[in-house]
Structure 1
Amino acid sequence: MSAVVTHQVHPTKVLFSQVITESLAHIQWLEKTDVSTYVIVDQTPFHPVSHIWPDHPADKGCLLLKDEQYDVLDCLTGAFDVENNKLYVGADIPVKRGEAGWHFVVVHELALDTALDINNEVKLTVDKSYQTALSRGHSAGHLASFALNKILEQDYWRKDASRKDALNNRDFHSYAQTFSLVSENKSTDNYRLGKTLKKRGLNVADMLNDLDDIQNKINDVLENWVATKSPVVMRREGDLLTDSRFWCCDLGNGENIIMPCGGSHVQSLLEYKRITVELTVKSEQDLEMITTAD
């Protein structure tokens, strides 16, 4: 790889949590790999895929310099080693956020033959329809997980649990989740129904026997929640990629959800006609929940 830099690289200011899809920015870093060009700017509306839990895909869009348009092929999380003037991307990042001497940045991957220079002012434009579809899928997935916990809380635990969700229900979703993927207007979650979960007190056999009824009850809860037309607020503790962000939705009747989340999201449940889930047993110990947003 080769890199060109003429001044200090600062942490990236991110704009996606404010639902900003276009911005002007200055290029801080250019790096040529064998197949592409990495570009870091001072601020960006692009949501990068997380290197830790890559369930929310990167945004799509383009970078414009005067009359030249360059497609953003991917958008990744990076960590910049200030002392050694070196960029690490994705799975190669060797530190946790907050490490002294490191700046976390958004890395825009462009084609190899990109003609850009340090300090160029460029315009970044996110594919708004694609980002909106991902946001709808992600927020719907959050609601579905809380609805699942709510229904299981009523009849399927024989022990109390130390881990509760934001609605004070035993957190099956957190205990059992092994995989999640946000896609356009959809969210997929896989759960492991193993011995550990049974020891924690979940009546797995009863749950599986009643799966159709549980699915119907979850969908009833989701119908009622969507009908509240509640706003969704992303509370930010700062503008940097590593600053904490919280997904907040007050559903009324004492059901106020505040949870950490770094993805992009809807601004209101008015953006849904309905949200439904489908539960499928994939194997004796594996359950899949697909959430669809209409």
Structure 2
Amino acid sequence: MGLPDADTIVTYPTGELRTIATVVAVAPHDDRLAVVTDRTSIHPVDAAWPDQPADAGVLRVGSREYAIRDAVVAATDGDELHVGALPVRPGTEGWTFVVAHLLDADAAVAEGDEVELEADAATRRSLSLGHTACHAASLALNRALADRWSKAAREDALGAPDFDGIAITSSRIEPMGSVDRYRLNKSLRRAGFDAAGLADALDELAASVDATLAGWVDADAPVRVERVGDGLTERRTWVCELPDASARIPCGGTHAGSLGELGAVHVSFAMEDDGGTPVLAMTTRSTPAT
């Protein structure tokens, strides 16, 4: 088995769905076939923060077409290809990081093949809307909770105390939305966040977040993804030109072109319990105009 010697070039940050590529490695992985190409338009599950699912799509070679069952990040130090579970952090010096496209085990694909990769447009669109709504909702949530901080805290991209960045434990991007969970633990309270009465004010919190989101959607704030380079591990940043400021959040996902594309955006909240620690769960849903 040959091993890749350069990071995969990724084209999905620009919104590209289709690309022509060369297969640089093929390896069995569990009951699938991992196919690595020199470039790809398929968004994989991120190894460090797996919030956005992989694109659905197909790989075509000659007249044959194979469904891409999953896409994950893989890494090699020149001796072995590690697929999915990485032994080092992405970007570690001396390692190459690539996208492994997982196909059915009987797929007839070989190193050196020229292939066409195409992401499913509807799936990409729904996840992109969900990811953009997630970022916007996190900023609106920080603003809504700003008066609950009694001490100076790390600030978000708009200058509000960064509740989302400090308290978040998990984020899951879904079609047209997301689910984010925040631990209201002792360390958060010591940092100056007052959670008293929050459980009884979830409807008011949702109304505040919704109102902020409605204003930003009405303004059709433009969204773009900035990147340092084309490689898989190159730094990428979500940028949204809101009416009163430019928001910037590090992000490796895919996104809508503006907040106006989200249509109506609403959040809902629930309090959960994690071994005695309260957890605030925020569900975000986008309903694009037809």
If the length of structure 1 is used for normalisation, what is the TM-score?
0.93
The residue aligned with 2:212 is 221
Alignment partners' CA distance in 1, 2:230 and 2:120: 21
Alignment partners' CA distance in 1, 2:184 and 2:134: 19
5+ unaligned residues in a row in structure 1: which ranges?
Answer: none
Alignment of 1:9-88 (within 5 A): 9-82=5-78, 84=79, 86-88=80-82
Once the two structures are TM-superposed, the CA of residue 9 in structure 1 deviates from its matched residue by 3.5
1:95 aligns with 2:88: yes
Residue type of the alignment partner of 2:156: D
The residue aligned with 1:129 is 122
CA distances 1:102-129 after superposition (whole Å, capped 9, x unpaired): 1100000111111112111111010110
Residue type of the alignment partner of 1:238: G
Residue type of the alignment partner of 2:152: D
The residue aligned with 1:157 is 149
Alignment partners' CA distance in 1, 2:224 and 2:210: 23
Alignment partners' CA distance in 2, 1:275 and 1:66: 43
The residue aligned with 2:185 is 194
Cα contact 1:156–1:207 (8 A) shared by 2: no
5+ unaligned residues in a row in structure 2: which ranges?
Answer: none
Cα contact 2:33–2:104 (8 A) shared by 1: yes
Alignment partners' CA distance in 2, 1:32 and 1:90: 13
The residue aligned with 1:274 is 264
Residue type of the alignment partner of 1:148: L
Residue type of the alignment partner of 2:165: S
Alignment partners' CA distance in 1, 2:105 and 2:122: 27
Once the two structures are TM-superposed, the CA of residue 90 in structure 1 deviates from its matched residue by 1.6
Once the two structures are TM-superposed, the CA of residue 34 in structure 1 deviates from its matched residue by 4.6
CA distances 1:67-93 after superposition (whole Å, capped 9, x unpaired): 1001111100011222x2x201122x1
CA distances 1:2-61 after superposition (whole Å, capped 9, x unpaired): xx32x7542100011010000110000011235111100011000110122211101111
Is the partner of 2:255 in helix, strand or coil? coil
Cα contact 2:4–2:76 (8 A) shared by 1: no
